[in-house]
Structure 1
Amino acid sequence: MKNDTLKIPELNFDENGALIITASSSSSKNDFDFFKGKSNIINKKLKKRLCNCTEWIEFPSTQEMYTILKGIGNIDNFLATFDGEPFEGMTVRLFNPITKLWSIYWSDSNTGVLDKPVIGSFENNVGHFFSEDIFEGSTVIQVFRWDARDQKNPVWSQAMSADKGKTWEWNWYMFMTKSE
């Protein structure tokens, strides 16, 4: 895929094995400005994760993002159809001006709860956001990558690692086209 060749930053862990996330020196509350407004999206999603699946599902969606909290946050609405059923997702992104880290929270019409945030920052128009999580009973690290080098056509992607970041499986890509 388009941004597979981008390197994921090396992960650091504390003495207890917990993931340490630090902001890039250029991180700012304006990092997501490229995403304001409406986008049309082509999604490519692995049918199954972390099982050597090679079957991709492709579907269209739309998304609209607007800023909140005097510019230190933003919200977007993601609209799609899965298996003939309407689906709605929502992302809340908050910038901490002290740590210079973004926290990204997701919820959708299936769960109605905010997921544990992925946390990170941008450098050179590419953002990496990480979290430790549980997937099907196993501890994983996930990364969200925002590639905004082409700000009219940004790419969001997601990967998981079951081995503390030694290897990654990319499992979802969103190829966006700004419609406003």
Structure 2
Amino acid sequence: MTASSPLQTRRGAIAAGLITSVLAATRAEALPAGEDPSQGITGGPDDWAFLVGRWKVQHRRLKERLVGSTQWEDFAGTCVNWPLMDGQGNVDDNVLELPGGTYRGVGVRAFDSQTRQWSIWWIDSRLATIDPPVRGGFKDGVGTFIGADTYKGQPVTVRFRWSELTANTAKWDQAFSTDGGKTWETNWLMWFTRAPA
């Protein structure tokens, strides 16, 4: 077994601290069971093994959300994911090459062994804020994660889905609902292709 480099050790410690801080700060955000749209969606601590490593990402994003738009924009990006806490958490560093300018974002995931659910938070480098979490898990090769948020002041239900998972590819999509999950508008898609290490 080879020793971890100081950079890997420091990066892991920082990320683990970030997950712990995010968990502590958002425990109070949990919705009552009757109001939690993710209720019943569960997973396990090995769910994200497929995502570990380096990826090239092709993005397709709806130009405007919740206005009936059908115009999309395509752009490239990268993602590097690593596990933490013996698989109970993971973090990814993302570069998004938007037509209007490149930015970075961080995805943080943590597993709750009591509820058997994953929570996912997104941190946007342009805003320096943490989005409310989506929660859920994987069933039959599809990961579904749901949570409450607002978009331009309007309450929305947010859904992340992971699908088409293989050793070298994956697909992610994001959708918003304004009617409690009866109907969904998909506004972002990402296709992952494994990059050389």
Same fold (TM over 0.5): yes
Q: Specify every segment of 5 or more residues in structure 1 that has no aligned partner in the other structure, as ranges.
A: 1-12
2:53 is the counterpart of 1:42:
no
CA shift digits 1:48-97 (9 cap, x unpaired): 00101000000000000000112100000000222453300001000111
Contact residue 141 and residue 160 of structure 1 kept, 8 A: yes
Partner of 2:41: 23
Task: Give 3-state SS (helix, strand or coil) of 2:119's partner.
Answer: strand
Could you tell me the TM-score, scaled by structure 2's length?
Answer: 0.79
State whether residues 82 and 90 of structure 2, in contact with CA within 8 Å, keep that contact through their aligned partners in structure 1.
yes
How far the C-alpha of 1:136 sits from its partner, in A, is: 1.7
Unaligned runs of at least 5 residues, structure 2: 1-32
Query: Highest CA radius of gyration, 1 or 2?
Result: 2
SS at the partner of 2:129? coil
Specify the code of the residue in structure 2 equivalent to 1:172.
W
| CA deviation after TM superposition for structure 1 residue 20, in Å | 5.0
2:58/2:190 contact within 8 Å kept:
yes
Q: How many equivalent pairs are there?
A: 164
Q: Displacement, 1:18?
A: 4.8
- Matched-pair contact (CA < 8 Å) for 1:40–1:179: yes
Report 1:1-180 matches (<5 A).
14=34, 17-19=35-37, 21-24=39-42, 27-180=43-196
Per mean C-alpha deviation after superposition, the further-off stretch among 157-166 and 142-151 is: 142-151
CA-to-partner distance for each residue in 1:144-169, whole Å, 9 max, x for gaps?
00114334210010000111111100
Q: Which has the higher helix share?
A: 2
> Which structure: greater strand fraction?
1
Percent sequence identity is: 34
Q: Which moved more, 1:76-85 or 1:88-97?
A: 76-85
CA distance in 2, matches of 1:144, 1:20: 11
Structure 1 range deviating more: 85-94 or 141-150: 141-150
CA RMSD, Structure 1 to Structure 2 (Å): 1.5
